[in-house]
Amino acid sequence: MRILHILASDIFTGAENVAADICMMFKDEHEMAYCSPDDGSVKRILEDRGVSFFPVRKMSMAEIKSKIKAFRPDIIHAHDVRATVLAKCTAGKIPVISHLHVRGDDMSVFSLKSLLYLIAAMRTKRVIVVSKSCLSDYYFGKLIRSKTVFLQNVIFLPRIEKLMYKDTKDYHFELVFLGRLCYQKDPQRIAKVASQVLKKCADISFGIIGEGELRHEMEAIFREEGVADRVFFTGRLDYPYKALKQAKCMLLCSRFEGTPIAALEAMALGVPIVSTPVDGMLDIIDNQRTGFLYSDDQALAEAVQKLLLDRHIHKEMSIAGINKFNDLNNVIDYKGRLGDIYLSAINL
């Protein structure tokens, strides 16, 4: 089969890694290609992974239609809301699968976005959700329940093994955040919790891997708290795995999540996670065994301090996290279920 993955973003974060991982894991079975805008880095990242790329200048019906015509897919796999709507407007008779990677607040209310997605989703062959809240919290969720399947994210470990050492720099962040600096991730809260930790632990540094519109708000908080000299913004790293592996703890304070790829990557590398207890994090973290889940800022800060200062707790959680990851990350099962979804889309 020829399968075209369509994404609306020109950067590489969670959903983008999932789509590229799918292309890599099915490399010897189906012909797959990745279609999205390109900020200059997407093409390079995909080339390093051996994934075919069909870039668009912008997400428009004309652009998407031209790439569909060029690739001639048997199936279109559209990731998230905007890509799904555009795919259904341009696919003609080609089956479309929609893949929701996160539960957005604007999807839980009656809005133009939630309505447009309903219209598009009703005409797709299948809707894949990475966390149950993607469906249960969607305003029109009941109307698409019959065609929805839950498929929790996995990561393709050969990708990390292949790309780990493409970054030749060394990093020395004991505490790390990896993700977009946007509303969903609540970076202001991350800055406040991290500041508490930095004040208590004088020898600790905090690495922030990612970019976003709320970076300046984070910087202002660190300056106000007097800890800015021990906070390092790396910007986006094409290959963050080395910096992540060298850390002792990952801090997440998300308002909502699907199954965050960054968290799975941390677990695979033995980095314990301290997080707010939201959506997909509840599925992958066993509180106080493989990581810590707290709603209170003080409790989050104290949990980070435990991991940074107590080697015994850190080692136990690191090992437990790797074991939990190995249990969760069943790529064979994931491929089998996704392959069945593709086949059913052709046959329906």
Using a pLDDT cut of 70, give the percent of the chain over it: 100
Whether the domain at 2-154+330-347 and the domain at 159-328 fall into the same CATH topology = yes
Cα angle, residue 246 at apex, residues 40 and 172 outer, rounded to 5°: 85
> What is the model's pLDDT at position 105?
74
Q: What is the pLDDT of residue 325?
A: 95
pLDDT score of 266 more than 90:
yes
Given a cut of 90, whether residue 146 has pLDDT beyond it is yes
pLDDT given at position 47? 94
- Residue 179, sorted as left (phi over 0), alpha (psi -120 to 50) or beta, turns out to be left
Give the per-residue pLDDT at 20. Answer: 96
Q: Which whole number is the average pLDDT over 284-291?
A: 94
Domain boundaries of the chain, sorted by first residue = 2-154+330-347, 159-328
**What is the mean pLDDT of the segment spanning 317-331?**
95
CA distances from 170 to 52, 243, 245, 247, 320 (A): 30, 7, 11, 11, 26
Residues in the chain: 348
CATH architecture for residues 2-154+330-347: 3-Layer(aba) Sandwich (3.40)
Q: Are the beta carbons of 156 and 24 closer than 8 angstroms? A: yes
Q: pLDDT at residue 247 above 90?
A: yes
pLDDT at 104 over 80: no
Averaged pLDDT score across all residues of the chain: 94
CATH architecture of 159-328: 3-Layer(aba) Sandwich (3.40)
Q: What is the DSSP string of 19-72?
A: HHHHHHHTTTTSEEEEEEE--SSHHHHHHHHT-EEEEESSS-HHHHHHHHHHH-
Residue range 308-314: mean pLDDT, rounded: 95
For residues 203 and 111, what is the distance between their CA atoms, to the nearest angstrom? 48
pLDDT surpassing 90 at residue 134: no
Q: Which residues have a Cβ under 8 Å from the Cβ of 40 and sit 6 or more positions away? A: none
Look at residue 149 in the predicted model and tell me its pLDDT.
96
Give the pLDDT band (50/70/90) at residue 316: very high
Kindly report, residue by residue over 184-225, the tens digit of the pLDDT: 999 999 999 999 999 999 999 999 999 999 999 999 999 999
Instruction: Please check the confidence at residue 18 and state whether its pLDDT lies above 90.
Output: yes
Q: What is the per-residue pLDDT for 283? A: 87
Give the H or E element holding residue 77: strand 75-79
Q: CB of 113 within 8 A of CB of 332?
A: no
Range of weakest confidence among 134-138, 273-277, 330-334 = 134-138
